[in-house]
Amino acid sequence: MRKNSLLYTAFALVVILGVLHFIAKAFYFYWTIWWFDNMIHFLAGFAGGLIALWFLFDSNIFYRRFPKTFESVSSALASVMVFGIAWEIFEYANDITQATEDYVPDTLHDFLFDILGAVLAGLVGARRSLYTKN
């Protein structure tokens, strides 16, 4: 594993996400700070995208080269959306959501920030390919 692996960055983001989530639950930040849920979804999309890029390209399990911009962004985006949709279904099926009339717009808003995080991960992955030898 390389010294500057995407997995290290993703792991640090997951730890930060865990800490922020526990703080948010303890102090009701999801309900009192309007942008907090957006930030969490963005960071989750970013971390998930980095993990997907590491697994698909950097771990040498599937490919031995790192992708260019379109391939990197589309791979991160597809992976994050699969997990994002699965998570929203899990929340709905287990009645974890706050069942209000704003459920559909809130879910679409969550997907938007998941997508933005995944796109950033794809761009970071594509930029990384400029500085590593394939």
In tens, the pLDDT along 77-121 reads: 999 999 999 988 988 888 777 656 788 888 899 999 999 999 999
Q: Tell me the pLDDT of the chain averaged across its residues.
A: 86
pLDDT band, very low/low/confident/very high, at 5 (cuts 50, 70, 90): confident
Q: Which amino acid is at 64?
A: R
Q: Can you tell me the distance from the alpha carbon of 60 to that of 124, in angstroms, rounded to the nearest whole number?
A: 18
Q: Determine the average pLDDT of the residues in 14-28.
A: 95
Q: How confident is the model at residue 1 (pLDDT cuts 50, 70, 90)?
A: very low
3 state DSSP class of 3: coil
Domain assignments of the chain as residue spans, ordered by start: 6-131
